[in-house]
């Protein structure tokens, strides 16, 4: 059962999460916000669900999460400042907000994996999906879906990266409400940092990425690239050094080797 009082006490934001929609079950929290009939318009609205029947990650991959054990939520952003060129900084910043929250509340060391996964000891504990609604070429609103494995101890299926949870790593039951509030607190701080000091987001992300400087393979829809993960640019795109040249990578699945 979700403890609303505990969540409210721990939430320190001005905007993010102040409009909070709690759902027992939904197909997808991202889809709920994007569906116009639900009339979710307020900037910073958070939609939280105990269970998603069609939770998804990038490329419409299924995100499976046991009911009542984890965090499945989405954040609505309508502030146009964060659209366009700031879009990719949000990708990096959300990863940092989740990773820093895990470290602060559990003392577990985390790392980030491009473009937006959070790992513990090489195992995936959180994933992020950004989706936008556009009118013509202009973004009207942005939805950030976040899934964090908190108290789940068994995972069934095939995975590119083996999954884990906070509970499995620290061996104790975790109060989800504290984690959710902490992530939202860090997320709002990150938004302010994008406005005041945007260059710090890529710098902080680099410090938490274990893959930089290593040989990686990037799988895209119709090709596979290999090379050295040299850097990310100021917009969050991956710089891959191959035998012939440096390439700027906008999307793809990254693995070591």
List, for residues 58-74, the tens digit of each pLDDT value: 555 666 788 999 999 99
Average confidence (pLDDT) over 148-177: 90
Domains of the chain: 4-207 (3.30.930.10), 215-256 (2.30.30.100)
Question: Which pLDDT tens digit goes with each residue over 96-145?
Answer: 999 999 999 998 999 999 988 999 999 999 999 999 888 777 888 999 99
Contact 202, 92 (CB under 8 A): yes
Helix (H) or strand (E) holding 33: helix 29-34
**Burial classification of residue 24, based on how many CB atoms lie within 10 Å of its CB (0-12 exposed, 13-18 middle, 19 or more buried):** exposed
Q: Out of 82-91, 110-119, 207-216, which region has the weakest mean confidence (pLDDT)?
A: 82-91
Three-class secondary structure of residue 132 per DSSP: strand
pLDDT of amino acid 86: 75
- pLDDT value at 176 more than 90: yes
Would you state the pLDDT for residue 56?
A: 57
What's the rounded mean pLDDT across residues 220-247?
92
What percent of the chain shows pLDDT beyond 70? 95
Q: Are 251 and 115 in contact (CB under 8 A)?
A: yes
Distances (CA, A) of 67 to 29, 72, 85, 129, 162: 14, 10, 36, 20, 20
Q: Which pair of tokens denotes residue 256?
A: 């070591």
For range 1-26, the mean pLDDT = 97
So what's the pLDDT on residue 173?
86
3-state secondary structure of 205: helix
Q: Report cis status (omega within 30 of 0) of the bond before 115.
A: yes
Q: Residues with Cβ < 8 Å from 141, sequence gap 6 or more?
A: 33, 76, 77, 78, 132, 133
Question: Under 8 Å CB-to-CB from 184, ≥6 apart: which residues?
Answer: 11, 13, 16, 17, 46, 75
Span 221-240, mean pLDDT? 92
Ramachandran quadrant class, 206 (left: phi over 0; alpha: psi -120 to 50; beta: rest): alpha
Task: Rank 14-28, 41-55, 85-99 by mean pLDDT and report only the highest.
Answer: 14-28
What DSSP character marks residue 62? B
State mean pLDDT over 181-186. Answer: 98
What value does the CA radius of gyration of the chain take, rounded to a whole number of Å? 18
């Amino acid at each position: 059962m979700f403890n609303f009082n505990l969540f409210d006490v721990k939430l320190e934001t001005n905007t993010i999460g102040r409009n909070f929609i709690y759902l027992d079950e939904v197909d997808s929290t991202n889809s709920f916000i994007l569906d116009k009939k639900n009339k979710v318009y307020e900037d910073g609205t958070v939609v939280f669900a105990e269970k998603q029947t069609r939770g998804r990650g990038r490329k419409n991959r299924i995100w499976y999460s046991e009911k009542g054990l984890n965090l499945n939520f989405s954040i609505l952003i309508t502030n146009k400042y964060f659209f366009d060129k700031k879009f990719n900084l949000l990708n990096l910043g959300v990863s940092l907000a989740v990773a820093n929250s895990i470290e602060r509340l559990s003392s577990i060391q985390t790392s980030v994996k491009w473009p937006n996964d959070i790992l513990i000891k090489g195992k995936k504990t959180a994933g992020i999906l950004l989706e936008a609604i556009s009118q013509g070429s202009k973004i009207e609103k942005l939805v950030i879906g976040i899934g964090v494995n908190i108290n789940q101890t068994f995972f069934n299926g095939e995975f590119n990266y083996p999954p884990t949870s906070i509970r499995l790593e620290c061996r104790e039951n975790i109060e989800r409400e504290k984690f959710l509030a902490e992530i939202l607190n860090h997320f709002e701080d990150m938004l302010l940092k994008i406005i005041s000091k945007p260059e710090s987001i890529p710098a902080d992300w680099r410090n938490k990425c274990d893959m930089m400087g290593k040989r990686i393979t990037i799988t895209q829809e119709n090709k596979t690239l290999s090379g050295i993960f040299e850097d990310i640019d100021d917009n969050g795109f991956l710089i891959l050094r191959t035998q012939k040249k440096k390439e700027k990578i906008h999307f793809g699945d990254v693995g070591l080797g």
